[in-house]
Structure 1
Amino acid sequence: MNSPEAARHCVAICQLSNQRPEDFNVNTELLVLENGEIHVSTWDAEPRDGGFDVHVLNDRVDALGFMVITDWEFFDEKAYAVVERRPGS
């Protein structure tokens, strides 16, 4: 059974881009998976060491119209969090 509350929860994944920097002027991408749609935010993060700044991740999620509802978890050079759409977004 799917409750209306559970339907609002989405997954956010942040990872380093696999595009070559000279071809693609960003090195970090954030994906939010919502009801079969993918929302994407990309940026050039410094330093290019694979680290993720939680404050930047939260800002990027917010810019896409979502809010983080769990702590970010880090696994296999990716960051994961559960997010939900901001009311009115």
Structure 2
Amino acid sequence: MLADCVEAAVRSLGNVTLKDIQETVEKIIEEKINDGQLDESSLTLKDIMNIKISFINVLQGIFHNRIEYPEITEEGEENGVYREQSK
């Protein structure tokens, strides 16, 4: 339940930062606790902290910023710079 909620919320944010991920995870888990949705679970506060850390690490891996690679054309040009081909 927690994983589904957290993932869906982070995906809906679009371009996210680590801070966005951390805040979203904290907010959702806090809301679930305050709403009593975890009252009958056997999770301890330590378990919940470990779950938060795991969610943040996994989501950071999924939504990290990607490097823009230069576009390479068939002629071997890379962003207007010709690369000599070996013979």
Q: Does TM, normalized by the shorter one, top 0.5?
A: no
Structure with the larger strand share? 1
Q: Which has the larger radius of gyration?
A: 2
With CA pairs under 8 Å and 6+ residues apart, which has the higher RCO, 1 or 2?
1
Structure with the larger helix share? 2
Query: With structure 1 as the length reference, what TM-score do the two structures score?
Result: 0.30
